[in-house]
Structure 1
Amino acid sequence: MNLVNLKDASDKVSFSEAVKKGLGKHQGLYFPQSIKPFDNIDEILALPLVERSTRILQHLIGDELAPELIETIVSTAFQFPAPLAKVTDNIHCLELFHGPTLAFKDFGGRFMAQCLANISEGKPITILTATSGDTGAAVAHAFHGINNIQVVILYPKGKISQLQEKLFTTLGGNIHTVAIESDFDDCQHLVKAAFDDPDVRDGLHLNSANSINISRLLAQVCYYFEAIAQLPKEQQAKAVFSVPSGNFGNLTAGVIAKALGLLIKRFIAATNSNDTVPRYLQTGEWEPKPTVATISNAMDVSQPNNWPRIEALIEQGYIDKSAIVGEGIDEEYTQVAMRQLSALGYVSEPHAAIGYRSLSRSLQDDEVGIFLGTAHPAKFRETVENVLGQPISLPQPLADCVGKADFSVDVDNSYEALKKHLFSILT
């Protein structure tokens, strides 16, 4: 698989190199030089999840990794389902929260961990990543206990749910968690600064597990195929995906799926009040505003890192820009959507509710809508109970971590403070 740095076309790498490096020169994102569509989509859709995902990833990665290795990685990573739950006659939720940390990022996090464990040849690696909520838990659990890999997770202090936080701050061992007194965008800036610093990047063998890492992104492509495979054949070409969007890796994966030949009619980029992309799609002006805190905190991102990849897909002709529309949903209508879903017999957390609200507003009579359920409602228990006025029980993975000790450390929102902390815990 040949990948090119979107900021420096001379920086070309293999899949393995891109997975190990994370970011390219000048903080550039790696992206496939070309995407070859399948010529047998129906055959691919007829396969079970693990077998189909193996075929998809082998097709994307090419002969760089042995087919048996890809099969082993996928079968180890994807050990849980992604069911399509019917909400109304023409609207479904793709439930991506049946993995060990109850969020969609289990797919990408576990696939990346298995890739790195198999291609690192035992050499030391430090995963440095920022989370706005679910990435932290998915990455922490995926890499926990892998001998040659240390993980450092930055998160905005007080701006993610307590249950989200407990899932990744209570593991210890090779998992190091850092609370930053700021927002997610600042956490991302600190991560980027570390990658720009040769002392840290090379001295600590840095890698990133955010959705900027190509392995996580490619893994997410697979569940779009899984969603379409669960629809009746006559509905498959009518599917509209509404994607709750923060850093925009999820939507990027969907567009890659379409580039592979999956018959997706169009996409809705559904955001909360941090609506940089919806405004850009409407006006053509890229004007990020200061990030605001919302009840859909995993989407509190004003400068999404993955947007250049979507721009590349548009520029290279894999999707027409008109096939992506943006919709920003404020706090009031997020809660309205949660109540609407509850009235339909479906309990949802704020992120998926934003996807549903955006979808229900624009879905046409001849279309079938799919919104992505990115996290289990119990991960946002307090918010869900307050909005719906009804209790929800904790699934076992959350119940198990509630009483555990928190190993997180507070670090000032400054790069020098972070650098000092990294060397203190990793050398």
Structure 2
Amino acid sequence: MKLVNLKDSTDTATFAQAVKRGLGKNQGLYFPTNIPVLKNIDKVLAMPFVERSSFILSTLLEEELADTISEIVQQAFTFPAPVVELNDKISILELFHGPTLAFKDFGGRFMAQCLSRLTNNEPVTILTATSGDTGAAVAHAFHGLENINVVILFPKGKISPLQEKLFTTLGDNIHTVAIEGDFDACQKLVKTAFDDPDVREGLHLNSANSINISRLLAQVCYYFEALSQIPAEKRDQLVVSVPSGNFGNLTAGIIAKAMGLPVKRFIAATNVNDTVPRYLQSGTWEPKTTVATISNAMDVSQPNNWPRIEALIEKGYVEKSILHGYCVDEDYTQIALRQLAHQGYTSEPHAAVAYRALINNLGEGETGLFLGTAHPAKFRETVENVLGQPISLPQALSDVATKDSLAGTLPSDYEALKQHMLGLLKP
């Protein structure tokens, strides 16, 4: 697979190089120079999940990791992604059946398996920012792997307590830091570190955010898994609503569409941090100050992955008309949670945003699918307050609920972070 830096066309990379680098020069994102179109989609959709995912990824990667891609997928995708029908018009794709109960288990585990095979036992430091689920998925995927240290930044007091406990209680090679700022401040610190040769080269820096191409490609696979569970006669009129914060999830869906995924269109569903919906309507990119919401993993005003979606459109892989943006405020998020509960389905705020956007945008003859990106118990307090009824904790959360957090705290200051990381990890 050949990739090019979207900010510097002279900066190219193989998949292996891009996985190890994370970001390109000038904080640029790597993007495929070619996206293959799959032949005989019906045959592809008829394959079992792991077999199909191995085929899709081997097609994308061409010869890279050819000998081990099936093994990587088998070790990474050890849990299902079921489609649950709410009614004859709308279904949900449940992506929270992995070890940390969130969709990011797919990308995190795939990246960990790839990187562990590509480092040749050289030391690596993973530096990533999280608005919630990335931290847990990355921490668990890399926990205990030799020669790999992980540093996770998260906005202090702005993610749910149970989300935080999933990644701040592991210890060992997992190091966590609460930043006194919002998620955008955490992302800025990560980007600054990649521009600093003392840290980038001294600590062999890499990133496990959805800016890393390995995570993104892994997510392509569950869109095909979703379509395999949709009746064939409904596929070409299917509208997929994606809860969107940093926009990696939607990027993967559009890559799947470019490869031949038979869906009609996508909805970029955001909370009040609505930079993209406003941009799609006005053509003007105007990020505002990030606002804290109950769908906190989507509290992102400057989504990192948006340039990849722009590239997919500009390079002609998809038409801009297949993408619609929709903003859901706090009141309607809570209303959506109640509407889902009235249908016998307990959900959480991010999926509720996607559901609300979907029912407000579904046209005549269309059917809808929205993505459930996290288990509702990860947002237990919010869900219980909105629905007025208790929900039980799954084992993965009850195991960490009473553990002490091992996270440190730093101001939103790069020099402070730099000294912390060098003191912690410098050989």
Instruction: Give me the whole-angstrom Cα distance separating, in 1, the residues matched to 2:86 and 2:362.
Output: 14
Question: The residue matched to 2:264 in structure 1 has which SS?
Answer: strand
Q: Is 1:264 aligned to 2:263, yes or no?
A: yes
How big is the shift at 1:368? 1.4
How big is the shift at 1:39? 1.3
Instruction: Give me the whole-angstrom Cα distance separating, in 2, the residues matched to 1:237 and 1:73.
Output: 31
Instruction: Give me the whole-angstrom Cα distance separating, in 2, the residues matched to 1:148 and 1:306.
Output: 28
Q: Is 1:96 aligned to 2:102, yes or no?
A: no
Instruction: Give me the whole-angstrom Cα distance separating, in 1, the residues matched to 2:64 and 2:52.
Output: 19
Partner residue, 2:105: 106
Question: The residue matched to 1:63 in structure 2 has which SS?
Answer: coil
In the alignment, residue 31 of structure 2 is paired with which amino acid? F
Partner residue, 1:19: 19
Partner residue, 1:230: 229
How big is the shift at 1:364? 1.7
Partner residue, 1:47: 47
In the alignment, residue 34 of structure 2 is paired with which amino acid? S
Percent of pairs identical after alignment?
70
How big is the shift at 1:404? 1.4
Question: The residue matched to 2:379 in structure 1 has which SS?
Answer: helix
* Range moving further from structure 2, 57-66 or 393-402: 57-66
Instruction: Give me the whole-angstrom Cα distance separating, in 1, the residues matched to 2:167 and 2:75.
Output: 21
Partner residue, 1:31: 31
- Alpha-carbon displacement from aligned partner over 1:367-425 (angstroms, at most 9, x marks no partner): 11000000000000000000000000000000001111211000111000000100111
Partner residue, 2:386: 387
TM, length-normalised to structure 2: 0.99
How big is the shift at 1:185? 0.1
In the alignment, residue 396 of structure 1 is paired with which amino acid? Q
Over aligned residue pairs, what C-alpha RMSD do you find?
0.5
Partner residue, 1:117: 116
Partner residue, 1:412: 411
In the alignment, residue 41 of structure 1 is paired with which amino acid? I
Instruction: Give me the whole-angstrom Cα distance separating, in 1, the residues matched to 2:174 and 2:238.
Output: 40
Q: Is 1:310 aligned to 2:312, yes or no?
A: no
Question: The residue matched to 1:371 in structure 2 has which SS?
Answer: strand
Instruction: Give me the whole-angstrom Cα distance separating, in 1, the residues matched to 2:209 and 2:380.
Output: 25
In the alignment, residue 377 of structure 2 is paired with which amino acid? A
Instruction: Give me the whole-angstrom Cα distance separating, in 2, the residues matched to 1:88 and 1:409.
Output: 46
TM, length-normalised to structure 1: 0.99
Partner residue, 1:211: 210
In the alignment, residue 196 of structure 2 is paired with which amino acid? D
- Alpha-carbon displacement from aligned partner over 1:221-249 (angstroms, at most 9, x marks no partner): 00000000001111111111000000000
* Range moving further from structure 2, 231-240 or 302-311: 231-240
Partner residue, 1:182: 181
Partner residue, 2:298: 299
Partner residue, 1:278: 277
Question: The residue matched to 2:127 in structure 1 has which SS?
Answer: strand
Instruction: Give me the whole-angstrom Cα distance separating, in 1, the residues matched to 2:132 and 2:403.
Output: 18
In the alignment, residue 23 of structure 1 is paired with which amino acid? L
Between Structure 1 and Structure 2, how many residues are aligned?
426
Regions of 4+ moved over 4 Å: none
Segments of structure 2 that go 5 or more residues without pairing to the other structure are none
Partner residue, 1:165: 164
Instruction: Give me the whole-angstrom Cα distance separating, in 1, the residues matched to 2:190 and 2:394.
Output: 32
In the alignment, residue 208 of structure 2 is paired with which amino acid? A
- Alpha-carbon displacement from aligned partner over 1:96-150 (angstroms, at most 9, x marks no partner): 0000000000000000000000111110000000000000000000000001100
Partner residue, 2:56: 56
- Alpha-carbon displacement from aligned partner over 1:196-238 (angstroms, at most 9, x marks no partner): 0000000000000000000000000000000000011111111
Segments of structure 1 that go 5 or more residues without pairing to the other structure are none
Instruction: Give me the whole-angstrom Cα distance separating, in 1, the residues matched to 2:70 and 2:300.
Output: 34
How big is the shift at 1:365? 2.9
In the alignment, residue 209 of structure 2 is paired with which amino acid? N
